[in-house]
């Protein structure tokens, strides 16, 4: 990466109009905010391409979890886990398992360098 510093010396092979512009504005310095913005746009593009949704639940006395991967809005992979009866298992188990299933789907992709897994259950975190 090149960093530029402001210099008082001006090359002699420049025209006078170029020299006055250089004195007034100085050389352009890379902006850290620009780099951060490009990084954010790259992450946004990645998350728009591949998304994983997961849920842990208890329905009709049965506890389970699911994770679904979408690529460009199309369902690609699904992982499901039936944990057992509500008398022996809790919803909190299912919430932790759903996060594990989401991580498993991301790991299966292999080429994903960074991922964000969001959780809406504080007890599972």
3-state secondary structure the chain: CCCCCCCCCCCCCCCHHHHHHHHHHCCCCCCHHHHHHHHHHHHHHHHHHEEEEEEEEEECCEEEEEEEEEECCEEEEEEEEEEEECCCCCHHHHHHHHHHHHHHHHHHHCCCCCCCCCCCCCCCC
Q: What pLDDT, on the 0 to 100 scale, is given for residue 36?
A: 77
The band of 41, judged by pLDDT with boundaries at 50, 70 and 90, is confident
In this prediction the pTM is 0.58
Judge if 86 and 38 occupy the same domain: no
Judge if 56 and 41 occupy the same domain: no
Does 100 reside within a domain? yes
Judge if 38 and 54 occupy the same domain: no
Does 84 reside within a domain? yes
Judge if 54 and 101 occupy the same domain: yes
Q: What pLDDT, on the 0 to 100 scale, is given for residue 125?
A: 73
Judge if 62 and 22 occupy the same domain: no
Does 3 reside within a domain? no
The tally of domains found in the chain comes to: 2
pLDDT digits (tens, 9 = 90+) for 71-122: 878 888 999 999 999 999 999 999 999 999 999 998 888 777 777 787 777 7
Judge if 89 and 104 occupy the same domain: yes
Judge if 24 and 58 occupy the same domain: no
Which has the higher per-residue pLDDT, 11 or 112? 112
Query: Residue 58 sits in which domain range?
Result: 50-109
Q: What is the mean pLDDT of residues 25-42?
A: 67
């Amino acid at each position: 990466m090149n960093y530029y510093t402001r210099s008082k010396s001006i090359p002699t092979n420049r025209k006078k109009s170029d020299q006055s512009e250089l004195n007034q504005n100085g050389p352009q310095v890379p902006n850290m905010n620009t780099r951060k913005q490009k990084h954010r746009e790259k992450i946004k593009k990645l998350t728009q391409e591949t998304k994983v949704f997961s849920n842990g639940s208890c329905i009709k006395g049965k506890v389970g979890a699911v994770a679904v991967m979408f690529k460009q809005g199309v369902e690609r992979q699904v992982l499901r886990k039936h944990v057992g009866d509500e008398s022996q298992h809790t919803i909190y188990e299912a919430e932790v398992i759903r996060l594990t299933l989401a991580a498993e789907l991301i790991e299966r992709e292999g080429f994903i360098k960074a991922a964000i897994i969001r959780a809406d259950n504080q007890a599972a975190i």
